[in-house]
Structure 1
């Protein structure tokens, strides 16, 4: 069963929003409980205003707290005083209001006769009827029910303290936190009324409040689902398009269409992935082009000697040419050229798969190279070329395969001999640098164009100007030299020679026990 990215994003966003909503509800509950606790204690202290006033009046009358009972009677005195005040309040509320006095009979007063024609004053207005008595409100309850059904009476949690905070009456202070309200007489604090907070004094009110929010929680859940779906759709659309493009591009690469490219304008990880994909497609396209070129060049190089050999054999067979030693030598040269080409292709193929057989041994590279160069002395002299050798380096012991190294030097000297103009020079010198020994072969003009230096070790590559195929060779020698040296931990590089031709630098790591 497939699970798309859109579904995954939807579930992820939904779970995140639900987690946030659950955390918000939990924090709301905790804050509501704490806030209701403070609010409830404040209300309870307000209910004790009457007791506070009564205590202040008695303190003012007696001049101190001497009116309080002694001993254990103090513990129940506050509860008894609250009950007395409540009973007094109840009696006042139940007493009938006093009957209003009957209005007096109005006495008719004879206004005095006006003097000198003045206007007599108006009679006084009758008195207004008395206001109806106020109906007393019922006293507030002194107990607060808890959520577990237990009732904590307020009068059992009240403590009377003196101005220094010492116990006077009521509940003995314990571990529960206590809220205080001062008792003032003539502007001076003479004591405190404290109310002990129960562990959860406001659960009933808080849970009732939260119960009213239960219906809203379903709306919060529905809104969370809707927002999750909307966010998931937007995020999925944001990410799904480049992923689909990447999947389509990968399918195109798998089908051999290496020219495919992806838009890489994004600045996030998907944009970076698209750029890497384009680089991979470029490399695959280049590799495919090189492979096709390799097949074409190999076929061409194999076809040339075979075509010459076939033409000569057909000429002998038809009697056009006789099987003279010269004819046989010409055919043998074609066979040897074909055999060399096949050997080079085979060696390159083995090097590509890492199966090239190399047996490195400690070897004095400078002595080996100079001895090998002397073997070309006769051919160089015949071509009108001079050979110069430099001084021996301080260290020249390397780990190399003599047979593979001889093959490399054969190709390098053969290349210089073939492409250096008559009357030129070939120079051989070496230098040791840190852990490397560098063997340098310079030849004189003609040189190699700068743009061709980086391609000299490519297979079947030949410089079309001075170093053309007219001098022979299939363009595999330098490529084979580089792969043979790389298989032994070395390298091959090309540069312009101070003599006007090509400089070839052969580098191999020095042996560990070299002096």
Structure 2
């Protein structure tokens, strides 16, 4: 079952998690220390005492053999403690050996916990308050039990002083634990602030971004996951800001492109209605020209909207783009001649096969030729060349002056972008033609780029995958 803290901030959750971890570690350490003291340390003392008892039993058997009973040791603690020593005991308690220091095992207090019992397990001498959990060992002589030695475990003979000592130790452990918890809580707060401060700033910036402030940015102070998240946030904010700017520009450009022909149409129709303009053939042609302009703009916008959602239809087949390009150039031959533009063609003799939609490629060539027609000075030229480069056909369209600034080249394929913002509708179109060209080329798994032409104008390079011969 997962513990949920509704309405709690990440900072508090992190603090609670770190504090709970610290408390769990302290409790575990206390339990381990208690278990270690009870089982390991006290067990060590009892094992030492049992070893001392094994050393004692041969001496007790020898003393019993010499005296024939346990009467010699009853009520005689001097002899008892003498037997408990590691050297061979002397029966006279006043001998120097009785005054020697106890063995290493006696330092554990084992000699105070031994009890000597006769064969019937009746008390002879030693520790009188023998407990039920005492460990008995038989004393044998010629296969017969002549007595018992019992060892009372250390934990069963702890005195009140020892218990007070243990109680003080537990209080000390408790105090240390509380101080450790307080210190851990302080450190947890500091760590939570350090770790979550960038996330807090990021959360505030996200709220501003969601409110429409696309200029919001956050500082990238680290190179860890939070730093990378901040960098991604800044990139997202930049993208949203650019998209919002493009949306606003798009609405402005569309409204401008629609308002101009509609204004001309409305003015001419009102003039005809008021009798200021005769409904002559020239007037009708002017009206048709504006209607054609509106129709082209609407069709271009529709094509772009379809391309954005991947719904622009393509009926591809193996076609000769050389023949298709010659046909497109022939349809503009008279128009180019009227504008004083010369056209030079350099195409290979063999078929230039590509797997493409002939209608869309005609639209591509038409947009490029119209772009050259609008933005090339009278008396200029257009050179069209094509060659094979590995698995692609490269088509290049080079026109003459005027050219485009290097800063404007990467933006030529943006919608409604014009290299010269001051151009009016008499010279430039809506700025959608090259954007549509890019969509068409990419739909054919090719690429298109813009560079400066050797003739002082613009070079458009198109790569289209070649079909197998």
Per-residue CA deviation, residues 276-331 of structure 1 (Å, 9 max, x unaligned), is 22221222112111111111111111111111111111221111121111111111
CA shift in 2, pair 1:477/1:39, >3 Å: same
Aligned counterpart, 1:367 = 323
Give matches, 1:142-291, under 5 Å: 142=114, 150-153=133-136, 213-219=169-175, 221-223=177-179, 225-291=181-247
Q: Which stretch shows the higher mean deviation, 469-478 or 495-504? A: 469-478
Moved more, 16-25 or 440-449: 16-25
Q: Give structure 1 stretches of 5+ with no counterpart.
A: 52-75, 96-131, 159-168, 171-197
Equivalent residue, structure 2, for 1:81: 62
* Whole-angstrom distance in 2 between the partners of 1:390 and 1:466: 34
Q: 1:92 to 1:309 in 2, by over 3 A?
A: closer
- 2: CA distance, partners of 1:265 / 1:94: 81
Given that residues 21 and 220 in structure 1 are in contact (C-alpha distance below 8 angstroms), is that contact kept between their aligned partners in structure 2?
no
SS at match of 1:438: strand
Residue in 1 that maps onto 2:18: 13
1:317 counterpart residue number = 273
Rg larger for: 1
Compared CA separation, residues 322 and 470, structure 1 to 2 (3 A) = closer
1:445 to 365, 381, 401: 401
Q: Which residue of 1 aligns with 2:122?
A: none
Give me the TM-score of the superposition, normalised by structure 1. 0.68
- Quote the Cα distance in structure 1 between the aligned partners of 2:393 and 2:64: 111
Against the structure 1 CA distance between its residues 28 and 326, is the aligned structure 2 distance closer, same or farther, given a 3 Å change threshold?
same
Partners of 2:308 and 2:50 in 1: CA distance: 92
TM-score by length of 2: 0.74
SS at match of 1:460: coil
| Change in 2 beyond 3 A, CA 1:4/1:81 | farther
From the superposition, tell whether residues 374 and 44 of structure 1 become closer, same or farther in structure 2 (CA, over 3 Å).
same
Matches within 5 A, 1:453-492: 453-464=409-420, 469-492=425-448
- Return 297-306 or 348-357, whichever deviates more: 348-357
Q: Which residue of 2 aligns with 1:414?
A: 370
Aligned pairs for 1:284-363 within 5 A: 284-363=240-319
- CA distance in 1: counterparts of 2:264 and 2:410, whole angstroms: 33
Indicate conservation of the 8 Å contact 1:444/1:497, yes or no: yes
- C-alpha distance in 2 between matches for 1:416 and 1:298: 22
The secondary structure found in structure 1 opposite 2:408 is helix
Q: Deviations over 1:35-66 (max 9, x none)?
A: 554455456666788x6xxxxxxxxxxxxxxx
Relative contact order: is structure 1 or structure 2 higher (C-alpha 8 Å, sep ≥ 6)?
Answer: 1
Kept after mapping to 1: 8 A contact 2:134/2:153: no
Structure 2 residue runs without a partner (length 5+): 1-5, 80-93, 103-108, 116-126, 145-150
Structure 1 residue 427 corresponds to structure 2 residue 388: no
Q: 1:78 to 1:89 in 2, by over 3 A?
A: closer
Report if aligned partners of 1:14, 1:224 keep a CA contact under 8 Å in 2.
no
Rounded to whole Å, the distance in 1 between the matches of 2:454 and 2:290 is 36
> For residues 462-514 of structure 1, what are the alpha-carbon distances to aligned partners after superposition, in whole Å with 9 as ceiling and x for unaligned?
12289775423121111121123233433321011223221111223334xx1
Change over 3 Å in CA distance of 1:368–1:442 after alignment to 2 = same
Corresponding residue number in structure 2 for 1:494: 450
- Give the 5 Å matches for 1:105-120: none
Please tell me the root mean square deviation across aligned C-alpha atoms, in Å. 4.2
Matching of residue 4 in structure 1 with residue 9 in structure 2: yes
How many angstroms apart in 2 are the aligned matches of 1:489 and 1:355?
A: 16
